[in-house]
Structure 1
């Protein structure tokens, strides 16, 4: 094969051009493009890291805001419970005062009604005694024909009713 026989003659020139091309490629890619790529990767990593830090800060702020919100809700709930309890106590107190006023009014009316009833009973008893004395007087007149004085008839009725 003729290529194998030409190998020692062209080897050094091919090696020279190979090293020259690879050297040029090394300087173009290795010194020019790779630092730019590494810079871009580092910039991207820095950006991702910064974004993650900002996200963590935002998460921490959101958690603290949520904790404050929950504290405010609990404080508001406790305040509402206090207000409801106070309103309930005020309502109970007002109802009790109204009940006392109504009870006092009813007691006054009951006392007045009892007094009227006592007066009516006393008046009726007085009238009964007078009616009984008059009836007794008339019965004695009809039965015996004797006229009895009114005070004597009253004394006789009182003696029977009082025992």
Structure 2
């Protein structure tokens, strides 16, 4: 505090009047010294910046530029690989689709031929059975027709005997059956 009072007292004029002291950088008495120190400070800062700071900054910037260029090259390489992998995938997919369609067509054709063969075998078996059945029917019909005459004769004899009370002559019944055939 004593120092502050001394400084304060030194700036005051005797008798309590304040003396006007100008702004020190604009004082012409100290102007030459200020220029010398400005030159020394500027030169020191210039040397410090040009020898230490700027080389480090330019090294950092160059390293960053190289890193970015390397990363862009890596990205372009990866993009090319991805496009190649995509085209290989598309090619494999189209080949798989064509193989699947080919296999489906082969299977369809094989099943169709097997189905046709089974159908033809079944149709042949049915035709055979139908022919055998028709032959059996024809034989039964022939056999039944051979018995029709005897059944008609027996029925005629029974009807006439019941109606008239006496049995008809067998030759007369045969002659009547022969006439009804015509």
Q: Which moved more, 1:128-137 or 1:95-104?
A: 128-137
Find the aligned partners of 1:49 and 1:147 in 2 and give their Cα distance.
131
* 1:97-136 paired onto structure 2 within 5 Å: 97-133=117-153
Find the partner of 2:114 among 72, 94, 99.
94
Distance in 1, Cα, partners of 2:114 & 2:95: 28
Match of 1:85 among 105, 111, 124: 105
CA deviation after TM superposition for structure 1 residue 21, in Å: 2.3
Moved over 6 A (4+): none
Deviations 1:10-47 (A, max 9, x none): 50x43333222222221221122201111111110110
Mark the runs of 5 or more structure 2 residues left unpaired by the alignment. Answer: 1-20
* CA 1:147–1:6: 2 relative to 1, 3 Å: closer
1:5 Cα deviation from its structure 2 partner: 4.6
- Selected match of 1:27 from 47, 52, 57: 47
- 1 CA distance for matches of 2:117 and 2:123? 10
Q: Compute the RMSD of aligned alpha carbons.
A: 2.8
The answer to whether the aligner puts 1:69 opposite 2:89 as a matched pair is: yes
Instruction: Report the structure, 1 or 2, having the larger helix content.
Output: 1
Residue aligned with 1:142, SS: coil
Q: Which has the larger radius of gyration?
A: 2
Distance in 2, Cα, partners of 1:5 & 1:159: 175
Return 5+ residue gaps in structure 1 as ranges. none
Whether 2:29 is the aligned partner of 1:6: answer yes
Q: TM-score, normalised by structure 1?
A: 0.79
- Residue 136 (structure 1) shift: 6.0
Q: Match of 2:56?
A: 36
Residues 113/142 of structure 1: CA separation in 2 closer, same or farther (3 Å cut): same
- Matched with 1:15 is 35
C-alpha separation between the residues in 1 aligned to 2:140 and 2:40?
144
Selected match of 2:171 from 132, 145, 148: 148
| TM-score (norm. length: structure 2) | 0.71
